[in-house]
Structure 1
Amino acid sequence: MNTNLFKEFNKHLCSYFFIIFIPIMALNICYQNYFLDTYKTEVIQQNNNNLNKFQVYFDHKIDLIHKVTSNLTRTPYFSDAYIRHNISSFYDILAELNAIKALDPTFVDIYYYNKNVPNTLYSCNGTYNINTYTQINPNFLNGYANFENKINSISKPIFQAPDDNILASLTPCIEYILPVHNQSAFFVFRINLSFFSDALHNIYDTENASYTYILSDTYELYKNAPPDFSLSLDNLPGTEPSNIQTTYKDHYYISSTSSPTSNLTYMSIVNEALLLAKVRTLSNKFILLNLLILLLGFIIIFVLTNKYYEPIRRLLASLHDFNFNLPKNLDALDQVAVGLDLLDRDNRRLNYEKSLLKLLSGTYKTISSFNMNPAHKDILLKYETYKIITLCPAPSYTLSNEDKQLLRQAKLAPLEGVDLYQVDYTESNMSIWIAFYQTGMDTLLKEALLNLDGALKATLSVPLRLCISHQYTELSGMPYALLECSKLSQHTDCTLHKTLLFYEEVNLQKPVEFSYPEAELSGLQDAITSRNIEKIELFVNILVDYINSLDECNPLLLPLAYTISHVFKKAAKILNITSVTNFDNLSKTNTPFSKALFTEYILTLSKEVIGIIQLHTEPCASSSIQVIIDYINQHYCEYDLSVSFLADHFNLSISNLSHQFKATTSVNVSSYINALRIEKAKQLLCTTSMTITDIATSIGYTQPSSFIRRFKQFTNMTPGEFRAQAK
């Protein structure tokens, strides 16, 4: 156990438990009643907020019904003249009513009554003769001689309770009656009780000890209280629309509010006894939980200190290997934190440079498409006009390490209206800047570059060429601007003392032809999409020849690599191919970027894509399975490599892959992978001093026991016995 780390863990542990946790637990016990009252108040307040949401929700629903009926009355089918003079009005009204019914699943039926047809009640299912139909509900008539007298007595929108439905034979529902003031007509919406209960379930916490009532004048339209619950709601103070008033009565907190647009009153009733009992139970459980956490905290910290010290030590060693200058006076954990901050800063810098390289490759056509990509969150382009600026030594000169450091630290004087982005390309003897600026800033930018040129000329040990491209306004022109600067930097006729070179000012003595392979890249994408192997090989060969024609230090190489990677990924996505190697993974390696690496990358990509296309077009050919075998030979040490992974990776079914693989190799996929791993393990056992656990991990086994069992299955001896015998 590292003493330093042990002290660190215990110091933080004691600080937490004895300075923060224990005092809070003591205060919790001493002021339990205060916490109970506070919690009770918060629950009631939350309940009131839910009640307010409930009221707003249903007022919106009712307002929707009003708007629907208003729109219906504007249609010609519901006009008095149309109903009187058109026999087919029956079908038109039914069609409109059914269309409105489909708007909400809680609408069971919609009735329409017009005095121009005094004996007919329209519904979504047909019509009823109100004089002869025997199921008119007496409760609805409520003492009126007939249906017409009852309906004429309604002068404003009202709700009818389920017991007072118009038709007694139907399933009880809430009915909402709306008179049409500019006509002698009425709309009646039959609404399922789920109209209230579903919304109540979505808005309210079902664990709260509360009940909800919805009243329409003296009717109880809805309540979710149990049948044996009894509480008189008489003598309660009146409510104002949209204002919640809470009253305490018989150990219940009754909150109520009324609707400003309808005759509905919403009530929420909270049982004080149940609420306080629940709160006390939760409080006692919390105290016990605090004690349990106190005990578990010491155990967990102790276990973690022992278990995770080794990864922390390795992390510190890795940080030192990366040459991060960690302060020696800090404790181990603080050093880790500082190191991770430095790694995060380094990753942000790499992401910044990668975004600029993709920008230089011409991948993006507009500023908005670049800014909308979340991968480039550290860069925000504001101006459309830009120039490319390169700083490099004159031909036949090479930058020293001191010169490279000076170029990295070179800064342009801040200019309002000019945004400057720098790409660290000094390892290739060049530094690249992108200057985005407002129109009319050319002169100021040129003066600033002259000042920078003079400062660098006085400090660098070699003659410098500061090359500036044409002015561009489209991002797709980035590769051309790079080519311009590249030609300027390599132009041998320019005198060495002329260090500031503008493309439009320097006579290159021959026409400049730009050959950025846009047509070839587009053709390559079309060839992959159409699965044309012959054309894929053709365009790949053209691109390789183009790359070989460029100089090793040409700044176009790296952006072009991102462009080609993007073309392969975009085309492969259309074909549902998931195994295309990403250039981002290649760029993370320690191998310096070069033309040879670039061409190898392109050939690897094309080989993968062609192999997968062959695999799907020639499923029985052994050459197609060779693509999978090659992939296994390269990745067999990865722990997640399996039949299902390969099937998903190559977009095949597990059964199809297994059948083709065994038919070609005479062994199944799992046996082939395990055989490769065991052979690698034999080599490591004989040539290294690695532990059994480290060997198991390095060849793809997550558990040493699984490795030992598999090794014995293949060799009839354990790894330890094999190593001893080999010696």
Structure 2
Amino acid sequence: MQTITYRIFLKYLISHLVLLLVPITITTFVVFGFFVDRLQEELIAGNLNTLDKVRYSMDEQLKQVQQMTNQLVVEDNSLYPYRISDNWGYKSFGIVRELKRFRMHTPFVREIWLSYRGEEVVYTSSSVYSRSMLADRIYRFEDWPKEKLLQDLNAETRTTILPPATDLNSGERYMRMIVPLFPYQNYTDATMVFLINEASLHSLMETYTPSSGAVWILDQNGRPLTGIGAELGPAGASVAEHAALQGDDPNQEWTIDGKSYYFFLVQSELTGWKYVTVLPVNEAMQKVEQARQFYLYGVVCILAFGGAIIFFSLRWNYWPIHRLRLASDRVLPARTKGLNELETVQYALDTLSSQNRLLGERVKSQSQAVKRQLLLALLKGEFDTEDELRVYGEENGFPISGSPLATAIVEFPAGASPGAYPSAEEMEKLAAAPFRAYGMEHFEMNRYVLVFMTDKRDLSPEQFRSSLNQFRDALCASAGGVVTVGAGSISDITGAPRSYLEAKTAIGYRFIQGVNRTIFYEDIPVRSEVAEEYPHKNLKVLKLAIKSGNTGKINGSISGIIGFIRERQPPLAVVRGLCFDMIRIVDGGWREMGLNEQSPSEYPDIFDLERLETIDEFERLMLSVSADLSRAFDCGPAAEEPSGARSAEDMLQYIQRNYRNSGFSLQDMSDHYGMALPNLSSYFKENNGLTPLEYTTSLRMADAKELLVSTPHTLKAIAEDVGYNNVCSFIRRFKQLTGMTPGEYRAGSKEGGLPGRQ
């Protein structure tokens, strides 16, 4: 056994060493065969690219200067009101301010001068000076004496650039760009001078250029403007002379005074300037030689360390298998004795695979329950935004995207057995593009509810009809029998309950239109007649009354809607729609008042509205809504300012004791202190700076952030821990306050991307 182990070890050791040597040997031949030429090519390309970056950056800065000049004088013409003013103080202040504003937009420019023909002053971005003072005291350049300066300000007719020179007053070196202004064709009435600090030019050039060479900028006439690293190469005059001889060739080898240089040249199409890099050849090739030596050292190290690693890893090549067997025995002891390591692991894998299949079946069953719960919440109107729907679905392992949607009810013949027709999952696969379908069984026998969603925002009704008819045809072919589909209208996430009611109405209309067809709610004739008489005014009054807390108008608008129903006798579908609209208005009113999380939870959902059969039931429901609202806005003696045990401090402690309780509500708090809810909110905010809801939410959000970071709990569990019995409300509120969903906050905290928890 030992001999066999030793032979296997040698075999694997030799084979691994060969595998290590083969690529290293091939790579060595390739590197030494092509390394120098390729590196020289990369050196040339890299330096030309770097030089072009300098050219591009300089062009961009000069473009900004040109654009600034054009905007200041022609496009914006913001100087004109000050130019024509007779008020000297207003004129000088305005022009200096505009020049200063434009200079701040271009940090590349140190100072801007503006000289108008016929005026004895020069406006600058810092002040106003007479021409003589500017030339004598403010700026003095050796190559730009006073006479020449004044002449350039008065008679310059084309853009001129003077190379950097030292200002004798400040000691700074400036390049001067003299730009005549032509507000009218062939007529110049002013001259602008831009002072560009040579240090700014050098700073821009040093950002890109190598430290071992010299970089020069030559103007359009081939004269040196400025350069860096001049001590590392020939003088500027020699560089300019060679640049004139080089022509359009971007790179050459240049020998001067017995020393060889790489000479790179790029010319700007914008300014005609030439950008030159002079790099000593020996220094460049020295890096090549160093790279070659480093490569050889690297090969030796790889062979040494690689061989050692291979040796020791193969020396203990059976140790991981032994440990794996021990782990397999601990997790799942083998029932059969005498199994070796591989057989033991194989037994564990087979057993775990079988268990995994059983677990998968359970997860699939649970997934269907999660999907049903999600669709029920969607049809009940518990989602306000697509983000809430998406986050809730992902949190529960059923990703679903919010988008334009429509609800449909599929009905099979009453006498058919449940197994004779496709399941909800099979129906989902039959949805025609561009829709995706999500389905579940209806409460009634032989019926299914399907929600059709699409990413196409501009979907037309005709496209929806065509897609739904294709779906019904495919379903008929799959089922081999009669299929009737009732379809509601296309809506957004918040309109899902109404679309369901419309689908329920449409499927009920099969009594008139017949079965084995698609019935669209829009095709029901009564819909257009009722729309003309729909009590929109009463609904609008109800919304305003809730917002203002006027219980009289609330009761009046509800009475008006009930009167409309009794007088007009609209279809049951309209009555259900009215009830749905009113519930949404009430919930929206609470939301606008900042009390949406405290709105009554006993209001019916869309499936309760579906079961309304009489106007009396509707009236009782509306009276219940009115009673809830009147209770919330009741302003009796309790509206007086609390004292003693009802102090603001006591209210703070009350909230701190109860905010984690999901049954806690501000209405209960107002009852506890004998105050109307609006008065309680106003008093609390006056004394504490926040409304009771804002304070409660701040406590809950602080706890939620801590739990998201420190625990692996699900969003549902965290929502319940901090006092929310509805995870959708928790997600919505969290995103409103933090700008991100709880899941995004948790992910950001793990990546270290959050500034800190509050």
2:275 pairs with 1:269: no
Instruction: Name the residue aligned to 1:482.
Output: 500
Aligned to 2:408: 389
**Residues 168 and 379 of structure 1: CA distance in aligned 2, closer, same or farther (over 3 Å):** same
Alignment of 1:236 with 2:242, yes or no, is yes
Q: Residue 514 of structure 1 corresponds to which residue in structure 2?
A: 576
Q: Please show how residues 98-497 of structure 1 align to structure 2 within 5 Å.
A: 98-117=100-119, 120-124=121-125, 125-130=127-132, 134-135=136-137, 137=140, 139-141=142-144, 147-149=149-151, 156-163=158-165, 165=167, 168-169=169-170, 171-180=172-181, 182-183=187-188, 185-200=190-205, 202=207, 204=208, 209-216=212-219, 217=221, 220-225=224-229, 227=231, 229-230=233-234, 232-238=238-244, 245-249=250-254, 250-262=259-271, 264-279=273-288, 280-281=290-291, 283-284=295-296, 287=299, 290-291=302-303, 292=305, 388-392=407-411, 399=418, 402-403=419-420, 408-410=425-427, 419-426=434-441, 431-434=448-451, 439-440=461-462, 448=470, 451-452=473-474, 454-455=476-477, 458=480, 466-472=484-490, 476-486=494-504
Mapped to 2, the partners of 1:141 and 1:298 lie a distance apart of 77
Structure 2: runs of 5 or more not aligned: 1-10, 333-345, 527-569, 612-659, 671-679, 724-758
Q: Is the Cα contact below 8 Å between 1:524 and 1:536 reproduced in 2?
A: no
1:420, distance to aligned residue in structure 2 (A): 4.1
- Give the corresponding residue for 1:502: 519
Letter in 2 for 1:389: A
Q: 1:38 to 1:403 in 2, by over 3 A?
A: farther
Cα distance in 1, alignment partners of residues 326 and 213 from structure 2: 52
Q: Which residue of 1 aligns with 2:67?
A: 67
Mapped to 2, the partners of 1:612 and 1:245 lie a distance apart of: 82
Amino acid corresponding to residue 486 of structure 2 in structure 1: I
**Residue 96 of structure 2 aligns with which residue?**
94
C-alpha distance in structure 1 between counterparts of 2:669 and 2:205, whole Å? 55
Match of 1:689 in 2: none
> Shift of residue 394 of structure 1?
5.7
Deviation of residue 64 (structure 1)? 2.6
* Residue 640 of structure 1: how far off its partner (Å): 7.3
Contact in 1 for aligned 2:224/2:240 (Cα 8 Å): no
* Residues 457 and 259 (structure 1), Cα distance of their counterparts in 2 relative to 1, 3 Å cut: closer
Q: CA deviation at 1:378?
A: 8.7
Cα gap change, 1:514/1:12 in structure 2, threshold over 3 Å: closer, same or farther? farther
Partner residue, 1:42: 42
8 Å contact from structure 1 (residues 258, 265) kept in 2: yes
Alignment partners' CA distance in 1, 2:67 and 2:431: 60
Cα drift, residue 253 of structure 1: 1.9
Task: Tell me, in whole angstroms, the C-alpha distance in 2 between the residues paired with 1:612 and 1:29.
Answer: 81
| Distance (Å, rounded) in 2 between the aligned partners of 1:407 and 1:431 | 7
Q: CA deviation at 1:189?
A: 1.0
Residue 608 and residue 105 in structure 1: after superposition, are their counterparts in 2 closer, same or farther (change >3 A)? farther
1:672: which partner in 2? none
Output the CA distance in 2 between the equivalents of 1:104 and 1:112: 16
Provide, for residues 61-112 of structure 1, a one-character-per-residue CA deviation record: whole Å limited to 9, x for no partner. 2233233334444559579995999786544443333233222223222223
Can you list the C-alpha shifts for 1:117-158, whole angstroms capped at 9, x where unaligned?
3x544433331442796456462247x966434666855323
Partner SS for 2:600: helix
Task: Work out whether residues 97 and 123 of structure 1, in 8 Å CA contact, stay in contact via their aligned partners in 2.
Answer: yes
Structure 1 unmatched runs, 5+: 1-10, 318-327, 552-602, 652-727
1:408/1:431 contact within 8 Å kept: no
Instruction: Tell me the amino acid that sits aligned with residue 110 of structure 2.
Output: V
> What SS does structure 1 have at the residue aligned with 2:269?
coil
Counterpart secondary structure, 1:174: strand
Instruction: Give me the TM-score of the superposition, normalised by structure 2.
Output: 0.52
Instruction: Spell out, residue by residue over 1:516-571, the C-alpha distance to the aligned partner (whole angstroms, 9 max, x if none).
Output: 75654565576477564xx7555223257x777778xxxxxxxxxxxxxxxxxxxx
Q: Distance in 1 between matches of 2:598 and 2:134?
A: 86
The amino acid that maps onto 2:30 is: Y
The answer to which structure has the higher helix fraction is: 2
Cα distance in 2 for partners of 1:186, 1:311 equals: 89
Q: Distance in 1 between matches of 2:201 and 2:368?
A: 56
Partner of residue 541 from structure 1, selected from 589, 602, 613: 602
Letter in 1 for 2:266: T
Change (3 A) 1:638 1:29: same
CA distance in 1, matches of 2:373, 2:229: 63
Match of 1:540, SS state, is: coil
Give SS of 1:539's match: coil
SS of residue matched to 2:143:
helix
The CA distance in 2 between the partners of 1:637 and 1:79, in whole Å, is 60
* 1:183–1:452 CA distance, 2 compared to 1 (3 A): closer
8 Å contact kept, 1:113–1:186: yes
Distance apart, 1:468 and its partner CA: 1.4
Aligned amino acid, residue 514 of structure 1: R
C-alpha spacing 1:89/1:370, structure 2 compared with 1 (3 Å): same
TM-score by length of 1: 0.54
CA distance in structure 1 between the aligned counterparts of 2:711 and 2:322, rounded to whole angstroms: 22
Contact 1:180 1:186 in 2 (8 A): yes
Return the alpha-carbon distance in structure 2 between the equivalents of residues 387 and 412 of structure 1: 17
| Cα distance in 1, alignment partners of residues 517 and 116 from structure 2 | 90
CA distance in 1, matches of 2:223, 2:487: 82
Shift of 1:24: 3.9
| Deviation readout 1:629-648 (Å, 9 max, x if unpaired) | xx89x98997579xxxx9xx
Higher relative contact order (Cα pairs below 8 Å, separated by 6+ residues): 1
Could you tell me which amino acid in structure 2 is paired with residue 256 of structure 1?
A: L
Contact 2:156 2:191 in 1 (8 A): no
Which residue identity lines up with residue 260 of structure 1 in the other structure?
E
Partner of 2:651: none
Q: What displacement does 1:467 show?
A: 3.0
Aligned counterparts of 2:101 and 2:474: Cα–Cα separation in 1? 74
Indicate conservation of the 8 Å contact 2:263/2:278, yes or no: yes
Aligned residues: 536
Report the Cα offset of residue 236 of structure 1: 1.6
Task: Give the root-mean-square deviation of aligned CA atoms.
Answer: 6.5
